[in-house]
């Protein structure tokens, strides 16, 4: 909040007035509040005492008390500019924009050429979604102060809400040119471009923030989404170096997976799982990388952990069943496949796995039946497995006929 208007000097008893104003001037706000509380008690109709008490509470960030005192001032002195402005600012600070707006508009009407009331009226209007009104106030603020970064940023926020992103970007850039602290606001536009599936414009803005780990992560994700895993890795590696969070490690690991560098993905996912052991999505991703590296035992352990933490996870039970089949842990594999069947989640691939296990355990009739169910339901999606199944069905029929 900008510095508030100077204390009012009227109608106070000389000693209390002098002591209170001196305390305010020297930023001894608790003492000032105590003095002006006495002044109010001495004369409850002294609006200047109420105002200065409200001012002390404002600086102490005792906003509820400040609001009550400012309202009392306006009750005693309706339309007082300083009270309208200060009350509006305190309410706005407390995110009560709808209550703040009438007071700030009253202040702006009282002094239409002043910068502060029209700027804060714009902020309140923006917060309440009155975009036309907000735009008008921000433009008036720029008339009062053509070099106001806050007013330019306000117009940018209005443009974002109207989905006019090119216009918003222009205003944010102007604001940043006036005050470098506003540069990060451009990230809001980048995020909006990203949400609108305009990765080029989004990435171009994110690239302006090479020291910002989150921006680098976004660039990497956009490149990855566009199929450029190699360049995504460069951005995401930097993001991990600057901010080694599980999320950043995961994003880099996925980029390595898409670039077929599983050996580099594995340690990143291992660390991410170590940092967030209850993150089941991370565990599933880690398990799949281990699976693709043919580390079936380790992969099975990850899928098993997920299945125990989330017993209704079809994904975990399916992956676990596949690993158990490959590890020839047949009893456990059948149990996992039975779980999928009981969940109503049995798919053609599960029927094929069941047939394989039954087949190698010499359970010829049920094996043949499972192969046949697989062939009846797969619909040509797995031609290699269908070929094997047809061959085994013929062989099994011959063997069963011999019995």
> What is the pTM (predicted TM-score) of this model?
0.65
More confident residue, 372 or 248: 372
Asked whether the beta carbons of 356 and 325 are under 8 A apart, the reply is yes
Angle at 382 between CA 376 and CA 385, to 5 degrees: 80
Asked whether the beta carbons of 337 and 350 are under 8 A apart, the reply is yes
Q: Are residue 310 and residue 330 in the same domain, yes or no?
A: yes
Q: Are residue 371 and residue 398 in the same domain, yes or no?
A: yes
* 322, part of any domain: yes
Asked whether the beta carbons of 7 and 52 are under 8 A apart, the reply is yes
- Could you report the per-residue pLDDT of 91-148, keeping only the tens digit for each? 999 999 999 999 999 999 999 999 999 999 999 999 999 999 999 999 999 999 999 9
Name residues whose C-beta falls within 8 Å of residue 377's C-beta, 6 or more positions apart in sequence.
348, 351
More confident residue, 284 or 218: 284
Domain boundary among 346, 366, 384: 346
- Could you report the per-residue pLDDT of 195-204, keeping only the tens digit for each? 888 888 998 8
Q: Does the pLDDT value for residue 12 go beyond 70? A: no
**What's the whole-number mean pLDDT along residues 268-276?**
93
Q: Are residue 340 and residue 288 in the same domain, yes or no?
A: yes
**What's the whole-number mean pLDDT along residues 189-218?**
88
* 232, part of any domain: no
Name residues whose C-beta falls within 8 Å of residue 12's C-beta, 6 or more positions apart in sequence.
20, 39, 46, 48, 49, 52
**What's the whole-number mean pLDDT along residues 40-46?**
94
* 310, part of any domain: yes
Q: What number of other Cβ atoms are within 10 A of residue 92's Cβ?
A: 21
Percent with pLDDT over 70 in the chain: 96
Question: What's the half-sphere exposure (Cβ side, CA atoms, 13 Å) at 167?
Answer: 12
CATH, residue 297 = 1.25.40.10
Asked whether the beta carbons of 56 and 32 are under 8 A apart, the reply is yes
Domain boundary among 331, 346, 361: 346
The predicted pLDDT at position 268 comes to 94
Domain boundary among 314, 346, 378: 346
Binned at pLDDT 50, 70 and 90, residue 188 comes out as: very high
Angle at 304 between CA 384 and CA 379, to 5 degrees: 25
Q: Are residue 336 and residue 354 in the same domain, yes or no?
A: no
* Sign of the dihedral through C-alpha 61, 62, 67, 73: negative
Q: Are residue 338 and residue 355 in the same domain, yes or no?
A: no
Number of domains in the chain: 2
Place of tokens 């149990």: 335
* 172, part of any domain: no
Q: Does the pLDDT value for residue 4 go beyond 70? A: no
Q: Are residue 366 and residue 324 in the same domain, yes or no?
A: no
Q: How far apart are CA 13 and CA 7, in angstroms?
A: 15
Q: Are residue 340 and residue 398 in the same domain, yes or no?
A: no
Q: Are residue 326 and residue 341 in the same domain, yes or no?
A: yes
Percent with pLDDT over 90 in the chain: 79
Q: Are residue 318 and residue 291 in the same domain, yes or no?
A: yes
Q: How far apart are CA 293 and CA 384, in angstroms?
A: 21
Binned at pLDDT 50, 70 and 90, residue 402 comes out as: confident
Binned at pLDDT 50, 70 and 90, residue 178 comes out as: very high
Q: Are residue 354 and residue 335 in the same domain, yes or no?
A: no
The predicted pLDDT at position 214 comes to 86
**What's the whole-number mean pLDDT along residues 67-76?**
96
* 47, part of any domain: no
* 330, part of any domain: yes
Q: Which domain holds residue 337?
A: 277-346
The predicted pLDDT at position 288 comes to 96
The predicted pLDDT at position 14 comes to 55
Q: Does the pLDDT value for residue 295 go beyond 60? A: yes
Q: Per the structure block, which two tokens stand in for 82?
A: 């300083």
* 332, part of any domain: yes
Name residues whose C-beta falls within 8 Å of residue 131's C-beta, 6 or more positions apart in sequence.
125, 158, 161, 162
Q: Does the pLDDT value for residue 1 go beyond 80? A: no
Can you list the alpha helix ranges (DSSP code H) found in 361-382?
364-378
- Could you report the per-residue pLDDT of 352-368, keeping only the tens digit for each? 999 999 999 999 999 99
DSSP 40: H
* 283, part of any domain: yes
Q: How far apart are CA 135 and CA 40, in angstroms?
A: 40
Q: Does the pLDDT value for residue 9 go beyond 50? A: no
Q: What number of other Cβ atoms are within 10 A of residue 90's Cβ?
A: 26
Mean per-residue pLDDT over the chain, rounded: 92
> Could you give the C-alpha distances from 27 to 51, 66, 81, 133, 334, in angstroms and in order?
16, 16, 23, 36, 77
The predicted pLDDT at position 184 comes to 92
Q: Are residue 304 and residue 328 in the same domain, yes or no?
A: yes
Binned at pLDDT 50, 70 and 90, residue 321 comes out as: very high
């Amino acid at each position: 909040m900008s510095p508030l208007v100077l204390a009012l000097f009227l109608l106070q008893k000389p000693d209390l007035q002098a002591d209170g104003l001196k305390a305010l001037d020297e930023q001894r706000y608790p003492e000032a509040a105590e003095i002006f509380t006495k002044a109010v008690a001495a004369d409850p109709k002294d609006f200047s005492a109420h105002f200065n008490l409200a001012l002390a509470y404002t600086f102490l960030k005792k906003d509820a008390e400040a609001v009550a005192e400012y309202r009392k001032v306006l009750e005693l002195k309706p339309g007082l500019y300083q009270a309208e402005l200060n009350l509006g600012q305190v309410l706005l600070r407390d995110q009560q924009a709808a209550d703040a707006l009438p007071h700030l508009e009253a202040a702006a009407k009282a002094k239409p050429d002043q910068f502060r009331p029209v700027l804060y009226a714009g902020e309140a209007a923006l917060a309440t979604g009155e975009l036309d009104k907000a735009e008008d106030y921000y433009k008036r603020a720029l008339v009062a102060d053509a070099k106001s970064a806050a007013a330019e940023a306000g117009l940018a926020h209005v443009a974002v809400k109207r989905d006019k992103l090119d216009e918003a970007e222009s205003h944010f850039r102007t604001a940043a040119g006036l005050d470098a602290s506003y540069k990060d606001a451009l990230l809001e536009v980048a995020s909006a471009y990203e949400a609108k599936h305009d990765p080029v414009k989004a990435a171009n803005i994110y690239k302006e923030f090479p020291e910002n780990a989150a921006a680098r992560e976004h660039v990497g994700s956009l490149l990855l989404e566009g199929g450029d895993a190699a360049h995504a890795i460069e951005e995401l590696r930097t993001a991990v170096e600057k901010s080694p969070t599980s999320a950043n490690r995961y994003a880099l690991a996925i980029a390595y997976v898409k670039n077929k560098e599983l050996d580099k993905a594995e340690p990143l996912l291992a660390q991410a799982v170590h940092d967030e052991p209850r993150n089941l999505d991370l565990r599933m991703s880690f398990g799949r990388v281990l699976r693709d590296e043919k580390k079936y035992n380790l992969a099975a352990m990850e899928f098993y952990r997920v299945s125990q933490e989330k017993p209704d996870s079809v994904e975990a039970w399916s992956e676990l069943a596949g690993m158990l089949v490959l590890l020839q842990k047949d009893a456990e594999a059948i149990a996992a496949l039975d779980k999928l069947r009981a969940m109503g989640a049995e798919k053609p691939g599960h029927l094929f796995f069941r047939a394989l296990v039954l087949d190698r355990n010499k359970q010829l009739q049920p094996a043949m039946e499972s192969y046949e169910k697989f062939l009846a339901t797969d619909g040509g999606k797995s031609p290699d497995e269908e070929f094997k199944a047809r061959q085994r069905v013929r062989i099994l029929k011959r063997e069963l006929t011999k019995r």
